[in-house]
């Protein structure tokens, strides 16, 4: 079963793109108010949410194929990056 949609940007490209646009402190909170715990500043940029594809088309395809059924939408309270 799919657990995501995959990366849109290579890690090195994400670091280059987001390092100039965001301060590290901005990346320790999610848009939904959750906390991100990470000791490695480079990893914060590499794992920026915009580095990933939108998961909704994947979920829609799984539902259309009868392979899955959407039952909930989860919002992480704490994310740990190592």
Euclidean distance between CA atoms 2 and 53, whole angstroms: 13
CB within 8 Å of 82: residues ≥ 6 apart: 38, 39, 43
From 1, 2, 3, 81, the catalytic residue: 3
DSSP label at 25? G
Say whether 48 is catalytic: no
- Catalytic residue numbers read 3
């Amino acid at each position: 079963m799919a657990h995501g949609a995959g990366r849109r940007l290579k890690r090195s490209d994400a670091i280059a793109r987001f390092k100039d646009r965001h301060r590290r402190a901005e990346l320790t909170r999610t848009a939904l108010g959750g906390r991100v715990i990470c000791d490695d500043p480079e990893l914060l940029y590499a794992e920026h949410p915009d580095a990933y594809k939108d998961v909704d088309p994947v979920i829609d395809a799984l539902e259309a194929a009868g392979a899955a059924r959407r039952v909930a939408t989860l919002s992480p309270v704490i994310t740990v990056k190592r």
